[in-house]
C-alpha cells in the first residue's frame, strides 16, 4: 500500500510544467484519483510534476458568453459557489455529487477530466454543456471540443507534452433548464449511469454518461426535445452503445429519463 519511489517537483509556471513533461514527468494535480493508483502500485511514474500551483492554473475569466475556469480549481470551490456560476446551478449541483467533501477539497476540475474515468462526472458534464478544453503545449494553446476530449477509458486527446490549462464553459441564458441524474449504489461512488440534458432556447443537448467509454451525445433525443416530442431513448441508446448489454443500456435510459424529468423543475 505504499507507492513505488518517484521523484517530485513543483512547477511555478505553465512553461516550467511543460518543460518537466517534456523530460518525462507526469502531471499531478489534486492526486485524488492518481493517489490510490500510486498507493496500489498500479501506476509507477518515474517523476511527478505538481501543476496545480502553476501560475494561471486557478484563474477565472468571464465574458458575456462564457466562463474560463483554470484547470486546478477544486470541486469544493465550484460546489460552494466561490466561482461565478454561468450554468444556472448545474456546476455546483454536479460538484456536490463528486466523491466526498474531503476529496472535493483537494481534487481538481482538470485532474478529473484528464484522468478520464468514464464514470466520473466532469467528462459527461462538459460534453453535455458543449464546453471547450484549453490545452497548453510546446506550440502554445489549443482548443479541443469537450466531446472530442475523451477518447476512451482513462484516455484523452492530449499529447504526452501537453497539459490541460483551463475549461471554457458557455454561459446558459436565464431561461435555460437542465437535468443531471446519476445512479450509484452509495453516495460518492463512481456512477453506474449518468443522464444529462440541457435545454436553452434553440440549443438542446442530451448525453448518456458512465458508458464505459466516452460520454455518448444523443442528437436525436435533443432534436425531439426541441420539437416538444418524447425522445425514443431506448432506440438511440441501442444504436450509440451497441457494446453495452441491454440491462446496462436500460440503466442509462433510466438516468436519462430522470434528467429529462428534471427539466420541468423550477430553479
Partner 1 sequence: MLPVTLTVNGERQQLLAEPRTHLADLLREKLNLTGTHLGCEQGVCGACTVLIDGVPQRSCISYAVDCDGAEITTIEGFDTDPTMAKLREEFSAHHALQCGFCTPGMLVTARDIVLRLGEVPEARVREELSGNICRCTGYVGIVGAVCATARGCAPRDSAAPIAATALAAAAVAAPVETAAPRAAQPLTGGTSLTETIAIAAPPDQVWDAMGDLPALAACLPGAEITEVDGEAIKGRMRVALGPIKVAFAGTGTVSLDAATRSGVLRGAGRDGGTGSSAEGELRFALTPSATGTDVAITLQWRLTGALAQFGRSGLVADLVRRLAAQFAANLQARLAGQAPPAAPAALNLFQLLWAALKARFGR
Site residues for partner 1, window 193-232 (CB under 8 A)? 212-213, 217, 219
The smaller minimum CB distance to partner 1, of residues 222 and 260, is found at 222
Task: Choose one: 72-80, 195-203, 227-235, 256-264; the region binding partner 1 (CB under 8 A).
Answer: 72-80
The smaller minimum CB distance to partner 1, of residues 202 and 245, is found at 245
The smaller minimum CB distance to partner 1, of residues 188 and 201, is found at 188
Structure-block grid coordinates of residue 211:
458508458
The smaller minimum CB distance to partner 1, of residues 125 and 264, is found at 125
The smaller minimum CB distance to partner 1, of residues 99 and 196, is found at 99
User: In the bound complex, what is the minimum distance in angstroms from residue 180's beta carbon to partner 1?
Assistant: 16
One character per residue 117-156, x = contact with partner 1 (rule: CB under 8 A): xxx------------xxx------x-xxx-xx--xxxxxx
For partner 1, which residue of 18, 109, 116, 225 counts as binding (CB under 8 A)?
A: 116
Q: 6 exposed, middle or buried (CB, 10 Å; 0-12, 13-18, 19+)?
A: middle
Binders of partner 1 among residues 174 to 193 (CB under 8 A) are 186-188, 190
The smaller minimum CB distance to partner 1, of residues 43 and 263, is found at 43
Binders of partner 1 among residues 8 to 37 (CB under 8 A) are 8, 10, 26, 28, 31-32, 34-37
Binding-site size, partner 1 (CB under 8 A): 91
One character per residue 42-71, x = contact with partner 1 (rule: CB under 8 A): xxxx--x-x-------xxxxxx-xxxx---
Residue bearing cell 523530460: 23
For partner 1, which residue of 82, 139, 201, 235 counts as binding (CB under 8 A)?
A: 82
> SS3 sequence, the chain?
CCCCCCEEEECCCHHHHHHHHHCCCEEECCCCCHHHHHHCCCCCCCEEEECCCCCCCCCEEECCCEEEEECCCEHHHHHCCCCCCCCCCHHHHHHHCCCCHHHHCCCEHHHHHHHCCCCCHHHHHHHHHCCEEEEEECCEEEEEEHHHCEEECCEECCCCCCEEEEEEEECCCCCCEEEEEEECCCCCCCCCEEEEEEEECCEEEEEEECCCCCCEECHHHHHHHHCCCCCCHHHHHHHHCCCCCHHHHHHHHHHHHHHHHHCCCCC
User: In the bound complex, what is the minimum distance in angstroms from residue 95's beta carbon to partner 1?
Assistant: 13
The smaller minimum CB distance to partner 1, of residues 238 and 263, is found at 238
User: In the bound complex, what is the minimum distance in angstroms from residue 258's beta carbon to partner 1?
Assistant: 18
Task: Choose one: 12-20, 81-89, 226-234, 258-266; the region binding partner 1 (CB under 8 A).
Answer: 81-89
Q: What does the alpha-carbon distance between residue 122 and residue 238 come to, in Å, rounded to a whole number?
A: 24
Beta-carbon count within 10 A of 228 CB: 6
Amino acid at each position: 500500500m505504499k507507492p513505488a519511489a518517484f521523484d517530485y517537483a513543483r512547477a511555478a509556471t505553465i512553461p516550467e510544467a511543460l518543460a518537466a513533461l517534456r523530460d518525462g514527468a507526469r502531471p499531478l494535480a489534486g492526486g485524488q484519483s492518481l493517489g490510490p493508483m500510486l498507493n496500489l502500485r498500479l501506476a509507477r511514474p518515474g517523476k511527478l510534476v505538481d501543476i496545480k500551483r502553476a501560475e494561471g492554473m486557478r484563474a477565472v475569466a468571464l465574458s458575456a458568453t462564457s466562463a474560463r475556469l483554470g484547470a486546478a480549481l477544486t470541486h469544493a470551490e465550484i460546489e460552494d459557489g466561490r466561482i461565478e456560476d454561468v450554468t444556472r446551478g448545474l456546476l455546483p449541483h454536479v460538484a456536490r455529487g463528486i466523491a466526498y467533501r474531503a476529496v472535493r477539497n483537494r481534487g481538481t476540475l482538470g485532474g478529473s477530466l484528464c484522468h478520464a474515468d468514464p464514470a466520473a462526472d466532469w467528462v459527461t458534464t462538459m460534453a453535455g454543456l458543449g464546453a471547450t478544453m484549453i490545452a497548453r503545449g510546446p506550440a502554445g494553446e489549443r482548443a479541443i471540443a469537450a466531446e472530442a476530449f475523451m477518447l476512451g477509458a482513462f484516455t484523452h486527446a492530449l499529447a504526452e507534452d501537453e497539459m490541460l490549462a483551463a475549461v471554457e464553459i458557455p454561459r446558459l441564458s436565464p431561461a435555460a433548464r437542465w437535468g443531471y441524474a446519476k445512479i450509484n449504489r452509495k453516495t460518492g461512488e463512481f456512477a453506474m449511469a449518468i443522464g444529462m440534458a440541457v435545454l436553452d432556447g434553440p440549443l438542446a443537448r442530451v448525453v448518456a454518461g458512465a458508458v464505459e467509454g466516452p460520454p455518448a451525445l444523443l442528437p436525436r433525443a435533443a432534436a425531439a426535445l426541441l420539437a416538444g416530442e418524447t425522445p425514443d431513448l431506448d432506440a438511440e441508446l441501442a444504436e450509440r452503445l451497441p457494446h453495452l448489454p441491454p440491462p446496462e443500456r436500460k440503466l442509462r435510459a433510466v438516468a436519462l429519463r430522470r434528467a429529462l424529468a428534471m427539466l420541468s423543475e423550477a430553479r
